[in-house]
Amino acid sequence: MGELYADVIVDISHEKLDKTFQYRVPDKLRQTLETGMCVEVPFGSGNKPIHGYVMELGDVCKFDPARMKCIREIVPGGVGVEGKMIALAGWIRKNYGATMIQALKTVLPAKKSVKKLEHKTIRRRLGREEVISLLGESKRKRQVAKERLLQELVDQETLPYEWVTGKLGVSSQTVKSLEKTGVIQIISTQSFRNPVRMESVEEKRQELSEAQQRIVREVLADFDGGKPATYLLHGITGSGKTEVYMRLIEEITQRGRQAIVLIPEIALTYQTLLRFYRRFGDSVSVLNSTLSQGEKYDQCQRAKNGEINVIIGPRSALFTPFPNIGLIVIDEEHEGSYKSEATPKYHARETALEVARLHGASVLLGSATPSLEAFYRARTGEYKLFQLKERLTGGSLPTVYTVDLRQELKEGNRSIFSRKLQELLDDRLKKGEQSILFLNRRGYSGFMSCRSCGHVMKCPHCDVSLSEHKNGMLLCHYCGYGEPRPKLCPVCGSRYISGFRAGTQQIEEKLKEMFPQVRTLRMDADTTKSKDSYEQILSAFSNREADVLIGTQMIVKGHDFPRVTLVGVLAADLSLSVGDYRAGERTFQLLTQAVGRAGRGNLPGEAVIQTYQPDHYAVVRAADQDYEAFYKEEILYREMLGYPPVSHMMAVQVFSKEEERGAALADRLSASARRTCFGGEEGGRFFDVQIIGPASASIGRINDIFRFVFYVKCPEYGKLVNIKDLLEEEMQRQPSGEDSVQFDFDPMNTL
Ligand code: ADP
Ligand code: ZN
Ligand code: ZN
C-alpha cells in the first residue's frame, strides 16, 4: 500500500485560498480522514501545533518525502463557525462536483484588505413639517426622484448616501441640489458601517390571521421541540407570506438564533427591504451584488461578531457565517436564480437544507407557484405543506381570455395583437388605465413552429423541441438527433413555418402605429443595463408616466401596480417550446405571475393570453390560476419520462479547444460511465441508470471552446454522485490539462 498525502490549508481567511501545505497521512488515520476535516498539524520551523483543513487527498508526493511532516490528529467537530463552513464546502464538493478550493471559494468571502471606507450620510436639516410641505410641492411638480427622497426623510432623520443613490434611485445631482437649497446636509464619516443603516421606525405589526398564526405556531412548536423541519408555504402574492416570515424571524432571533432570508436579486426592491428595516432596524443587513468585495467581507465579520442577526440577500447570502442559525427563509423558491451557474453548480434550496442540518435550523420555502421539486416533496411528506388561499390586500383574480393565434391568422389578422387585445387596449387608453404587455421570451432558443396549425417540431426520442441551427438542420440538444429543416409544415402543409422573432422594440413600434397617442415604457435586457434603471422604469410606471409597459419576464416579478387593469401576453407558448423538460413549469409560472399583475387595486382586471397552443395544460391551468391541477399533469409527464423531481439527472459538460479532442473525450467519459453501470463483473448494479448522448451542446462553441454534453439519469441521486466521482478521477488521469469537465445536477436549462 502506497503512502497517502493530504493538502492542508492552515489559514482559510487568506486572500489566496489556493495556498496549501502537504502532509503525510499516518496509518492510524488512513481510514477515517476525509476532505474537509479539521486536523492538527505541526507548522513552521518550531513545529508549532496548529489547526488546518484537508483540501485534497492523493498518492502523489509533491515535496521532498524525507522532510514531509505528518498530520497529528483529527480535531473532532472542527472549530466553530469555520468548521461548519468547511463541512458545507465539503458537502457541496461531493454533491455538485468541484475541487475543494472551488467549493471553499463559494462559501467563504474573499478576504480583501478593507480600507477605511468613506461613508456618506444624508441628514435632513429641516423639521418634519417643512419636509412634508416640500414633499407636496415636488409632488405637484412631478419631481419623482426628489419626491421619493423627501418621502423617506419624513420619518428618517438620516439616510445612507449609497442607499439613496442606489436602491432609492435618486441621482447624485438631485441630492446635491437639495444640499444647496439647505434641505439636507451630506456628512462624511470614516468607518466600517452597515451599508444600510436606519433607525427602526416601529412598523405596525399586523395582527396575524388565524391561518397565519397556525403556521407560526406549528413551525415554532417543531423548533422548540428540537425537531426543526422544512416547510413549503404555498400562497398567492398578497396572501401574507412575508408577514409570516417576519413573525418567525422575530421569534427565532428572540431565542438567540440568527435568520437568513433569501430573495431573488430582482425582487430585492427598496420597498421589500424597507419593510424589513422598519421591523428589525439595525440588526438586519443586506447582501447584494452592488456591494463591493470589501463591504461583503465587512458584512461577514459583522455576522460572525453577532452585530447583526438577520441577513437578506440572493443565493450567496446563504453563506453568511452566523454562529447559530435558527431559520432560513427562501422566498419565491421556484426562481431559477437560486441555482448557481458557475461550478460548483449548487442549488440554494438543497444547500439550505444542509446548512439547516449543520445548525439545527428550520427552513421555510415560500411561493405562489412552487417548483415541482418542492411540491413533490411536500406531497411525499418530506416537507410540511402550508397553504394561504386568500389575498389580504383585496382585489379579485382577473378575468382571463385565451386567444388562439391560429384562428386569428385564419380570419385574416396578421398583426401581433389579437382583436380582443386591441379592443381592450383601446378601452384602457380611453379610460386612462394602465396596461402591461408581456413578451415571453424566456429561454428562447430558435425552435420551429407552424403559424397555421401551431405544430412544433419535436425530437422523436426526448419529447423536447428541436432547435434551428444555421446549417439548415434541426437538432435535439439532449440526444443529438437531427433532421433537415422542413420548408412546409409536416402536419398541415402551410408555408408559415418559422421561429418567432419579434422583440420588445418591434412591439413598441407596432403599438405606436396602432395608437399614435400611447405613452410607453420598455423594460428588457437593453433598457436595464445601467445600475438602477430597473427601479427607475418601475417607479416611472408607478407614477403613471406611461400608459403601457412592454417587457420581458423582468416585469412580472416584484412590484405591485394598483392601476394596471390589463395584461396582454403576446406569445404564451414561446417558453413552452424551448428544448427543455422544465418548459411547461416555467411557462405556467410566468403566465400565472403575468396574469396576476392585473387588478391588484380596487379596479377589476382582465388578461389576454395569445397562444398557438390554447389547449396545452400549462396555458389552460395558468388561465384558471390553478396550481394543483397544473402540478398533477406536469408530474405525470416527469414520471413518464424520468425527469426530476421524480428521477434525477446529471449533465456532464466537456470543454475543449479542439473539436475532435473534445468529442473524443466526451465519448470516452460516457463510455466509461456506461461500463461502470452496465458492464464488467458488477454489471447490472446500476441497472436503473440511463445514459443519453453525448451530443454537441446547444451552443456548440463559445469563445472558441467547443462544448459537448451527455446526460445521466437515475432515480437515486447517490448513484449519480458515484458516477461523478469516477469521472472526476478519470479526468485527473487525463494527459492534457486543457480540456475540462463540469457537472450540473438536475439542470435548470438545456446545456
Ligand atoms: P405576500 O408576501 O404573500 O405577498 P404580504 O405578507 O406582503 O404577502 O402581505 C400582503 C399585504 O397584506 C401587505 O400589505 C401586508 O401588510 C398585509 N397583511 C399581511 N398579513 C396581514 C394581516 N394578518 N392582517 C392585515 N394585513 C395583513
Ligand atoms: Zn401546420
Ligand atoms: Zn432527443
What is the residue whose three cell numbers read 439550505? 352
Q: Which ligand is nearest to the CA of 331?
A: 1
CA distances from 107 to 56, 289, 442 (A): 17, 16, 30
Spacing, Cα 482 to ligand 2 middle (Å):
20
Confidence at residue 119, expressed as pLDDT on a 0 to 100 scale: 62
What would the DSSP string read from start to end of 642-707? T-TTTSEEEEEEEEESSHHHHHHHHHHHHHHHHHHHHSSTTTTTTTT-EEEEEEEEEEEEETTEEE
> Does 605 sit in the ligand 1 pocket, CB within 6 Å?
no
Say yes or no to pLDDT of 638 above 60: yes
Residues in the chain: 751
Grouping H, G, I as helix, E, B as strand and the rest as coil, residue 281 is helix
**How many other CB atoms sit within 10 Å of the CB of residue 217?**
11
Question: What is the pLDDT confidence band of residue 556, given thresholds at 50, 70 and 90?
Answer: confident
Residue 366 has pLDDT above 90, yes or no: yes
pLDDT in tens, 167-225: 677 888 888 888 888 888 887 654 444 444 455 455 567 789 999 999 999 999 999 99
Q: Which numbered atom of ligand 1 lies nearest the CA of 237?
A: 4
The pLDDT score that the predictor gives to residue 257 is 97
In this structure, is the dihedral angle defined by the CA atoms of residues 537, 540, 546 and 548, taken in order, positive or negative? positive
Atom index in ligand 1 nearest the CA of residue 207 equals 23
Taking the centre of ligand 1 as the mean of its atom positions, its distance from the CA of residue 605, in whole angstroms, is 20
Cβ of 272 closer than 6 Å to ligand 1, yes or no, is: no
- Average pLDDT rounded to a whole number, residues 345-358: 96
Mean pLDDT of the chain: 85
Ligand closest to CA 493: 2
Q: How far is CA 610 from CA 599, 613, 737, in A?
A: 19, 9, 51
Does residue 209 line the site of ligand 1, with CB under 6 A? yes
DSSP alpha helix (H) spans, 189-228: 210-224
Q: What are the helix and strand counts (H, E) for the chain? A: 21, 30
Which residue from 203, 206, 234, 246 has its CB within 8 A of the most atoms of ligand 1, so it is best to mutate? Answer: 206
Ligand 1 atom with the shortest distance to the CA of 209: 23
pLDDT in tens, 661-697: 999 999 999 999 998 887 765 555 677 899 998 988 8
Rounded to the nearest angstrom, the distance between the alpha carbon of 301 and the centre of ligand 2 is 61
Distance 577 CA to ligand 2 centre (A): 15
Amino acid 473: pLDDT:
81
Relative to the alpha carbon of 233, which ligand is closest?
Answer: 1
CA of 150 to the centre of ligand 1 (A): 26
Closest ligand relative to 641 C-alpha: 3
Find the 406 Cα to ligand 2 centroid distance in Å.
Answer: 9
Is the CB–ligand 1 distance for residue 237 below 6 Å?
yes
Within a 10 A sphere around the Cβ of 718, how many other Cβ atoms?
10
Percent of the chain with pLDDT over 90: 39
Residue 742 Cβ inside 6 Å of ligand 1? The answer reads no
b/e burial code for range 115-148 (CB count within 10 A of at least 16 → b): eebebebbebeeeeeebeebbeebeeeeebbbbb
Q: What is the pTM of this model?
A: 0.80
Asked whether residue 65 carries a pLDDT value surpassing 60, the answer given is: yes
DSSP 3-state of 740:
strand
Q: Whose CA is nearest to atom 9 of ligand 1?
A: 240
Judged by DSSP in three states, 188 sits in strand
Q: Which atom of ligand 1 is nearest to the CA of 244?
A: 6
159: which strand partners? 122
With a 6 Å cutoff on the Cβ, whether 239 touches ligand 1 is yes
CA distance 436 to 740: 45
* Interval 715-723 mean pLDDT: 93
Best residue among 392, 393, 600 to mutate for probing ligand 1, ranked by most atoms within 8 Å of CB: 392
Q: What is the pLDDT of residue 735?
A: 73
Q: Which residue of 263, 275, 393 sits with most ligand 1 atoms within 8 Å of its CB, as the best mutation to test the pocket?
A: 393
Q: By alpha-carbon position, which residue is closest to atom 24 of ligand 1?
A: 206
d(CA 579, ligand 3 centre) in Å: 9
- Protein residue with its CA nearest to atom 18 in ligand 1: 240
The whole-angstrom separation of Cα 183 and Cα 125 is 6
Residue 381 CA from chain centroid, whole number: 25
Looking from the CA of residue 243, the nearest atom of ligand 1 is 6
Strand 325-331 relative to strand 310-313: parallel, antiparallel, unpaired?
unpaired
Q: Which residues contact 387 (CB under 8 A, 6 or more apart)?
A: 233, 234, 235
Ligand in closest contact with the CA of 244: 1
Q: Which ligand is nearest to the CA of 596?
A: 1
Count of CB atoms within 10 A of residue 472's CB? 8
Q: Is the CB of 395 under 6 A from ligand 1?
A: no
Q: What are phi and psi of 190, to 5 degrees?
A: -105, 115
